[in-house]
Structures are given as structure tokens and as C-alpha cells.
Amino acid sequence: MDREITVRYSPELIKFAVWKFWARSIGLGGFVAFAVTSVAFVYFLVSEDRSWLLGFLAAVVGLCLIIGILSYFIYLNRSMEKFKRMEVPTAKFRFTDERIGIESNIGWTELSWKMIDKVWKYPSVWLVFIAKQGYVTLPTADLDEELKQFITLQVKESNGKTSNQSFEPTAR
């Protein structure tokens, strides 16, 4: 297959992709651990326990909150800076049996399918992870079913992983 498409980016799409990356990177376990630690902190605070445990829990909750919020805004700022550097918010993707090529007015790259570690699939955007380099946001509005299947097949044949996410709430 040799296919070329042009995709359009928007601030909302970038924000959504960053939100999904951030939330999924922390994972359900991270959010549950934060909630449990927060509940324990509130319990000790309300019960007027002023032991070292209260101070420890306060520090853990505070650090997790600060690191979580800062990491989200760092990812968001980096992605929005790349978006703002684009004079025209579009990119051309070229898919062949051997490679995936990406070109915009801020640069271009060609990658072997073997460089793709995984793809996180959401209805409006796919996050295509490049080995040890982050991810590329691929809007799905211009992807037909045949191309989606081709990309999925190429990633799997190159020992990459794909995962479907059907739930897509609004970005934060």
C-alpha cells in the first residue's frame, strides 16, 4: 500500500491528546493510590492525630499533587509550542509497506514501522509512539477503515502494540 493523507490539527485536538497521554501514563493505579493516600490524610487530620504519619501523608499528597499538575502542564506547553510553530496546522502522512513518513512546515521524518512501539487509539486521535522519542498525534478524521487496518497490521507485524479506547470524554 502507498497512501498519503493530509491531516489538520487544532488546539483542542492537541489538548485532548496531551490529556489522554498524561492520564494514561499515570494509570488507574496511580489515581487510586493518590485517592487512598488523600483519604488517609484527611482521616488523620479530622481525627486530630498529629503524629509523624500526618506529616508524612501531607508531604506525599502535596508532592504527588504538585508533580502531577506540573507534569501535565509541561507536556501541554511542549505540545502547544510545537503546534504554534506550525504556520499551517497540517501535516502530510505517507504510509508505505516499509515506512511511515510525516511532513509539516516545521520538519519531516521517515520511520521504519519497527520504530513504532505502540499506538493508543481513540475515536478522534491516535497516539503513535516512536521508540524512546515520545509520540506523534495522528488525527483520525481523514483515516478510512482500510488505512486504519493497514496501520494496525503494520504495527503488529513489526512487534508493536495497539490498544483501542472507545470512551472519549472532553479534554480538560
Q: What confidence tens digit (pLDDT) does each residue in 97-145 have?
A: 999 999 999 999 999 999 999 999 999 999 999 988 889 999 999 899 9
Q: What is the pLDDT of residue 171?
A: 44
Provide the pLDDT for residue 172: 42
Given 53, 70, 85, which residue is the final one in a domain?
85
Q: In this predicted structure, what is the pLDDT of residue 165?
A: 72
Q: How many domains does the chain have?
A: 2
The pLDDT score that the predictor gives to residue 170 is 46
Look at residues 22, 52, 85 and tell me which one is the last residue of a structural domain: 85
Same domain? 64 vs 93: no
pTM of the model: 0.84
Q: Is residue 169 part of a domain?
A: no
Question: What are the Cα distances from residue 130, in Å, to 36, 52, 63, 64, 116?
Answer: 34, 44, 30, 28, 5
| Residues of the chain with confidence (pLDDT) below 50 | 169-172
Say if residue 23 is in the same domain as residue 75.
yes
pLDDT of residue 30: 94
Residue range of the domain that includes 139: 3-8+88-164
Same domain, 119 and 78: no
Computed over its alpha carbons, how large is the radius of gyration of the chain?
A: 20
Could you tell me which of 74, 169, 155 has the C-alpha nearest to residue 122?
169
